[in-house]
Amino acid sequence: MFYWNVGGEKVINCQHFLPYLSKTPRISIEYVMDVRDFSKAKYTAILSDIHLCEEEPVNLRYPLWKKYKTREFFIDEEFKSFLGMLHKKTRGEPIELVLNGDIFDFDSVTSFPEMPPYQVTWLERHRGLHPQAEKSEFKIRKILNDHPVWTEALRWFLRQGHRAIFVIGNHDLELHFLNVQQAICDILNLPEELKDNVRFTEWFYISNKDTLIEHGNQYDPYCMAQDPVNPYILSFNRIEVRVPFGNLATRYLVNGMGFFNPHIDTNYLMSAGEYVKFFFRYIIKAQPLLMITWIWSATVILFQSFIDRLRPPMKDPLTAEDKVEFIAKKANASPRMVRELKDLFVAPVNSNPLLMLQELWLDRAFLVVLMFFLILQLFVFIKAVYEISFFWMFIPLFVFLPFFIFYSKSISSSVVEFKEPREKILNLASMIAKVHRVIYGHTHLARHEIIGAVEHLNSGTWSPAFEDLECTKPIGEKTFVWIEPSAEDENIREATLKVFEKGEEKPLSSSKLLGGYTHPA
């Protein structure tokens, strides 16, 4: 349990804290900590990237429109069965369930209240509400109301005496808002003595002093939170959570292009030829003006990302150390670990405007517009002196075309490059946290391998990812990491990457295991 001392008044409930945060963003806050000890755990289950979102109604005219978001592909019943299996597996002994980031997908929520008590802009009505406290609370309540089975399953699991730790990822950065955390606790409706069994950590968690658990987005420049210790920025006199470039792309681009599934890279990272084929096969009838949607959406992403990069994080120097200590306590770490792990972060992609232009294809759009403008100016100048046909314009256009094609083919997205764990970061992170095992999520790629001196696992994903737009070819399996005492020595825990299927667990086959490492059980 913890509370805030705001202006001399004891504030326990996050709802009571919110007015202070919104009206006086520079107010001094005293952190008063009494955090339950989570430092020891016998059994730990880690899963990530569930991407719970609102329910998308079936589009009768265009049934493939955001089909992956329809109730048909909800994982609620599987999650309920999964928690039941875990409880049975340990015969009721306490389990530490680590929900390792992107459990909720705030970025894909496009609903808004029918009679909102706050201003909703035209952009928000078409692309989703901004990441502001009261709007983020609406989104989490919408998500959980659309997933009653999932919510009831977690409530039952916690009532059995187990605990749940939410590690914040890049798609659920709005969990930083205290009223959002409070809304989740309110909906779970736990008895007073069990409320402290739910915890939210900023970006990492250390389990039993032997395992560092991170979502992993802090090492991906496209999705890293610039400052998870101080996540808030002041945007036009409103407090928001700073959203990374990759998540802005989901909000402003993918939310308006419903035939692209954001849960699989190959569905939206294509060559120019593949985009053309995809357009004529699926999109032309529903969105014939898709090019206009792309241009204005990409422009908004570029502008928003660049402006947010320049906005300083909201800080209070009087409580800076208290905040670091509070983050450390929740994560079973020391303040020094918090600061040193933060130093491992990569630079955000919005520090490189050219790279953002290339990822959004705006560089090629700019070249085409510039070339047409220059050719038109040349034609007008020559025509003022000589009487020439309009078709002469095509000569410089054809000369420009090979250079444009060569440039386009030389540009490749580097998004996939950051899906691979880097040995240096893994080794440093394990040394800082004083552990021998590091577990990530984020990439959606299940892994178990030894990199350098570190045992590395990735818990994979439970997201609705499909090879085809018709959602008939699912990619991946429902994987999770299970940590339990070794059969030889109960003081040493071993980690296994498993798959949950048809109510049962089983080891993930080596043919489907990226990294190919099998732990000597």
Q: Would you give the DSSP letter of residue 379?
A: H
Q: How far apart (Å, rounded) are the C-alpha atoms in residues 152 and 160?
A: 13
Assigned domain for 23 exists: no
The upper half-sphere exposure of residue 333, i.e. CA atoms within 13 Å in the direction of its Cβ, equals 32
Which residue shows structure tokens 């290339």?
358
User: ∠ CA 444-438-462 to the nearest 5 degrees?
Assistant: 25
- Domain shared by 195 and 327, yes or no: yes
- Domain shared by 72 and 180, yes or no: yes
Q: Would you give the DSSP letter of residue 491?
A: T
- Domain shared by 161 and 260, yes or no: yes
Assigned domain for 37 exists: no
Task: Give 226-242 as a 3 state SS string.
Answer: CCCCCCEEEECCEEEEC
Q: How far apart (Å, rounded) are the C-alpha atoms in residues 310 and 125?
A: 26
Q: How far apart (Å, rounded) are the C-alpha atoms in residues 220 and 315?
A: 24
Q: How far apart (Å, rounded) are the C-alpha atoms in residues 325 and 328?
A: 5
- Domain shared by 394 and 328, yes or no: no
Q: Name residues whose C-beta falls within 8 Å of residue 191's C-beta, 6 or more positions apart in sequence.
A: 159
pLDDT of residue 29: 52
Assigned domain for 32 exists: no
Instruction: Give the Cβ contact number of residue 64 at 10 Å.
Output: 16
Task: Give the DSSP H or E segment for 400.
Answer: helix 394-410
pLDDT of residue 168: 97
How far CA 340 is from CA of 335, 344, 435, 454, in Å, comes to 9, 7, 14, 18
Closest CA to 245 of 345, 350, 319, 147: 350
Tokens of 277: 């084929």
Assigned domain for 8 exists: no
Domain limits at 316?
42-356+415-512
Tokens of 405: 């094609």
* Identity of the residue numbered 97: L
- Domain shared by 421 and 447, yes or no: yes
Per the rule left: phi > 0, alpha: psi between -120 and 50, beta: everything else, 257 is beta
Task: Give the DSSP H or E segment for 506.
Answer: strand 504-507
* Identity of the residue numbered 77: E
Q: How far apart (Å, rounded) are the C-alpha atoms in residues 34 and 339?
A: 21
Per-run averaged pLDDT (10 residues), the chain, 521 residues: 42 42 46 77 95 93 92 95 95 94 95 92 94 96 96 96 96 95 94 92 95 94 93 90 94 91 79 83 88 92 92 89 93 96 93 89 89 86 81 81 83 76 88 95 91 91 91 90 92 93 82 48 32
Contact 104, 143 (CB under 8 A): yes
- Domain shared by 378 and 289, yes or no: no
Assigned domain for 19 exists: no
- Domain shared by 209 and 124, yes or no: yes
Assigned domain for 17 exists: no
Closest CA to 28 of 46, 15, 9: 9
pLDDT of residue 510: 61
- Domain shared by 489 and 505, yes or no: yes
pTM given for the model? 0.88
Report the domain count for the chain: 2
- Domain shared by 212 and 266, yes or no: yes
For the domain that residue 112 is a member of, what is the CATH number? 3.60.21.10
pLDDT of residue 521: 32
- Domain shared by 179 and 327, yes or no: yes
Q: Would you give the DSSP letter of residue 221?
A: T
Length of the chain: 521
Q: Mind giving me the DSSP string for 17-46?
A: HHHHHHH-TT--EEEEE--------SEEEE
Which residue shows structure tokens 């994979």?
460
- Encode pLDDT of 449-503 as tens digits: 998 889 999 999 999 999 888 989 988 889 999 999 998 888 899 999 999 998 8
Q: How far apart (Å, rounded) are the C-alpha atoms in residues 156 and 150?
A: 10
- Domain shared by 444 and 423, yes or no: yes
Closest CA to 302 of 250, 228, 353, 255: 353
- Domain shared by 446 and 367, yes or no: no
Q: Name residues whose C-beta falls within 8 Å of residue 468's C-beta, 6 or more positions apart in sequence.
A: none
At 109 the three-state DSSP class reads: coil
Assigned domain for 12 exists: no
Contact 520, 496 (CB under 8 A): no
Contact 254, 262 (CB under 8 A): yes
Assigned domain for 520 exists: no
